[in-house]
Amino acid sequence: MPKPNQTLGEFIIENQAHFPGSSGELSRLINSLRLAAKVVNHEVNKAGLVDIIGAYGETNVQGEDQQKLDVYANNKFIQTLTNREIVCGIASEENDDFIQIKGHKGDNQNKYVVLMDPLDGSSNIDVNVSVGTIFSIYKRVTPMGTPVQKEDFLQPGNKQVAAGYIIYGTSTMLVYTTGFGVNGFTLNPALGSWYLSHPDMKFPEDGRIYSINEGNYIHFPQGVKDYIKYCQEEEGDRPYTSRYIGSMVSDIHRNMIKGGIFMYPKSSKNSSGKLRLLYECNPMAFLTEQAGGKASDGFQRIMDILPTELHQRVPFFCGSKKMVEKAEEFMARAE
């Protein structure tokens, strides 16, 4: 049972009891992620003081202009995981292809791969709005000790062993799950320690916040347009409140605490939406389900989608169970 004010270090050790006979590899991996998160947090906090704001000058495989902090965070997480030889492979939103980690002696025996969005909401850095990091952990499916292959990364979300996010906000939090509920830890920057501040986080079953980039309304499918109109109608507890930060991590974090739905649907411009199944949707879906919420592409469970490409995109509806179900109802009706 999580204890209030427990440190993340203590919690990780206790959490290991869920995995009898485990080697402690997953615990060491989460330890590495919390370390890299502290380093990135330190850098994000200096934005505005040192030259880390603005464009890096290159375009990533997603066709997006990379920001300096996208590149910094990507390098920091990859370096930490590589130097500590704690995983056998990494895939990132910022890298064209996955990375094989062979180990210093070429004998890497680790069984986990990490997939990540090193900096989510990077367009918000320049304006001092919260950004995040998302991670997703799977057991490899190819034989241990051999170089990882694409199929180790192209697993459905329901095979995730752990997932989490870091939110660099008014305070910095690390929120994660290993399949036994969701717990949130707040960084005490003076001590450099994470403390359990949000034990057993749960999405309210229903909510009153809808989060979507409504500027794209004209391009949305009819079901989404109808659902937005439903949110705006005056009836019962409606109209709902609209809140959209443009950092998915922050939008979903708020909705998890207050109750709400986050949507990034497909549009007439973008046939699969924008968000990436492997780095963004699957980990947020795992956390959401573990917190009692629901995550779908409008028609089916996100975590049951069989990925075919590393950078695959997917429409995303995620949040309080009743709200997602209602949105799905509108989607089905408009088909």
Half-sphere exposure of 157 (CA within 13 A, CB side): 29
Of the candidates 116, 107, 54, the residue with the CA atom closest to the CA atom of residue 79: 116
Q: What is the distance, to the nearest Å, from the Cα of residue 42 to the centroid of all Cα atoms in its chain?
A: 20
Q: Does 64 bind Mn ion (CB under 5 A)?
A: yes
Q: Rounded CA gap, 9 and 86, in Å? A: 17
288 binds, among Mn ion, ligand AHG, none (CB under 5 to 8 A by kind): none
* Token pair belonging to 215: 């500027």
Stretch that binds Mn ion, among 74-82, 109-117, 189-197, 285-293 (CB under 5 A): 109-117
Comparing CB distances to ligand AHG, the nearer of 142 and 312 is 312
The angle, 0 to 180 degrees and rounded to 10, between the axes of the packed helices 68-83 and 25-45 is 150
What residues between 164 and 223 interact with Mn ion by CB under 5 A?
Answer: none
Closer Cβ to ligand AHG, 133 or 320, answer by number: 133
Is the Cβ of residue 85 or residue 117 nearer to ligand AHG in the bound state? 117
186 φ/ψ sector (left φ>0, alpha ψ -120 to 50, else beta): beta
Q: How far is the CB of 309 from ligand AHG (least distance, A)?
A: 17
- Looking at residues 233 to 292 of the shown chain, list those that interact with ligand AHG (rule: CB under 6 A): 246-248, 274
Sign of torsion, CA 82 83 87 93?
A: negative
Residue 211 binds which one of Mn ion, ligand AHG, none, with CB within 5 to 8 A depending on kind?
none
Contact predicate 291/134, CB 8 Å: no
Q: How far is the CB of 142 from ligand AHG (least distance, A)?
A: 28
277 assigned ligand-binding residue = no
Q: How far apart are CA 304 and CA 310, in angstroms?
A: 16
User: What is the CB neighbour count within 10 angstroms for residue 109?
Assistant: 11
Q: Which partner, ligand AHG, Mn ion, none, binds residue 289 by CB below 5 to 8 Å per kind?
A: none
What sign does the dihedral 47-171-3-290 (CA atoms) show?
negative
Question: Should residue 120 be labelled a site residue for Mn ion when binding is judged by CB under 5 A?
Answer: yes
Q: Is 119 annotated as a binding residue?
A: yes
Picked from ligand AHG, Mn ion, none, the partner binding residue 246 (CB below 5 to 8 A depending on kind) is ligand AHG
**Closest separation in Å from C-beta 272 to ligand AHG:** 13
C-beta neighbour count of 232 within 10 angstroms: 13
Q: Is there a binding annotation on residue 64?
A: no
82 binds, among ligand AHG, Mn ion, none (CB under 5 to 8 A by kind): none
Interaction of residue 85 with ligand AHG, rule CB under 6 A = no
Q: Name the token pair of 259.
A: 């109750």
Would you say 152 is a known binding-site residue? no
Strands (E), 192-321: 193-198, 209-211, 241-242, 260-264, 294-296, 316-319
Asked if residue 230 belongs to a known ligand binding site, the reply is no
Residue 166 Cα to chain centre, angstroms:
8
217 is in an annotated binding site: no
Q: Which of residues 117-156 bind ligand AHG (CB under 6 A)?
A: 117, 120-122
Closest CB to ligand AHG among 199 and 246? 246
Decide if residue 251 touches Mn ion (CB under 5 A).
no
- Region 184-243 residues binding ligand AHG, contact defined as CB under 6 A: 213
Ramachandran quadrant class, 103 (left: phi over 0; alpha: psi -120 to 50; beta: rest): left
Bind-site residues for substrate: 120-123, 213, 244, 274
Bind-site residues: 93, 117, 119-123, 213, 244, 274, 280
Residues that bind ligand AHG (CB under 6 A): 64, 93, 117, 120-122, 213, 246-248, 274
Bind-site residues for Mg(2+): 93, 117, 119-120, 280
Residues that bind Mn ion (CB under 5 A): 64, 93, 117, 119-120, 280
